Structure 1
Amino acid sequence: MPRIRPGRVRSKNTNRRPPLLLSSMAPEDYNVRPGEVKSIACPDCRTWRRIMGDTVLKIRQHGSCPGNDQLVVVDIDVRRWQARQDRLLRDAMPQDNRRAAQQYYKPLPAPAVPVSRMTAEVTLETSRQSYLAHRKGCTRCVGGQHCTDGGILARRFVRALDQEPARRQIREELERQERRNARKRTAPAARKAQWAAYGGKQVEAANNRCGERIAGAVSEFRGPKLPLEPLRITT
């Protein structure tokens, strides 16, 4: 891209006014973007004129306007001014014409994974249904011959058949454990119901009932008293 050179100042004459500070003007009344021709709206005639010079900047002569050869001083932060102007231009554009600085494209969805490569939980019924569905729709799976996916589904079905006894045993053990836990949870309630049905005065009367004791017995729980001396039998 060719370099844009500033306009050559052919005269050192000025209009003898104090230098015009860009900070004292409205931001939209001048253009000092890097890489573009500097221009300004003349404060006297309000027409856009070119700013001449490289180090010493002056407004280009334009007829008999008193703003000819007016000194200009760039006393602003050019980057901050440019960012603010870009934002104002973007906000002033119609909503239909606005476009983001960077376009983001929605990625295409990935193709669906074949049934033979799914990693879901494999059971005897699911493997059987998958294998039969594939056999029904595949033209290469005929008789004992299988395609690649059909062979994978067939081996998965056979493996599920081999694992079914162990799975059944685990299920039965889990069911037994669940029944034991259920009985443990209901045991306090069952004992409470039994006490309510058979407890109360009947239990209290049975505990307080006194029976006759056997003569010579130490206790009704220990039986009759045994002899302490050895029994000698004579013939």
Structure 2
Amino acid sequence: MTTSTMPMATKRKARTRTKRVSHRPAIVVSMVLPNLIDLLPGTESLVCPDCETWCPITGHDGLTPKLVPHHTGRAGTGEARRCGGSNRRVTIDLTIAEWRHLLADAIKETSSRRATNVLRKPKVALVPAVMQIVPVSPGPETARTTYRSHVKACPACSGRIRCAEGRHLADIYTSLTRHEPRRQQIRAAIARERARFDRIYAAQAVTSRAAEWGKQAETKVKRSALAKRSGTAVEDTNNTCRFIVAGAVSGLRGPELPIKPIRITA
């Protein structure tokens, strides 16, 4: 049993000897976008309108320039099919200088349309409305000072007679004076809780610091175990920062070392 497989797309030749010309209307170079054309000598080509792939132009130096016969897919891809734009005539009505000028203008216009980087603005918290603002309740002393200042400045407040604003300030002062002991108890309870949390955090910090010091001491013990066989007394003494007093005996000397000169008797 034989199976038929589609041939692979072949590489497109720059020149062909076929005299066939497509019956379809010619492609006018000036009507094609400048970035889809290449008019440089030796690389004359354009994007085929049918398969939208780059295709060489053969016979560009003669009377009938046309697209070379080509497949719809790229070279090396499967299921090769002949493109309908093969052998289609090309009308080159632009010079290389004019094409480069159009290409430069197109690049400049494209770069100007390119989107700029978006700079995200920081989110600002919304300002609460006036009705949502919770005023800070004043203390009894502040309320009394405000009430007395109003009574002195208000012409309607005289003797025992008070205006509406004066009566309102007096009610505020009375209410604050009545509820001040309870507020003091609440403040004291909050202060005690804060102090208790501070003590807990301090104890945890001490515990963690002690554990860290224990690890450092264990590390030092391990290092001392790997010290010289002669011991670490000399090394510890050398590493100790002490002021040397004039005339003092060095700490490295032991009682077995003779300090006075030995007299030899005959």
TM-score by length of 2: 0.27
Which of the pair has the greater relative contact order for Cα pairs under 8 Å at 6+ separation? Answer: 2
**Bigger Rg, which one:** 1
TM-score by length of 1: 0.31
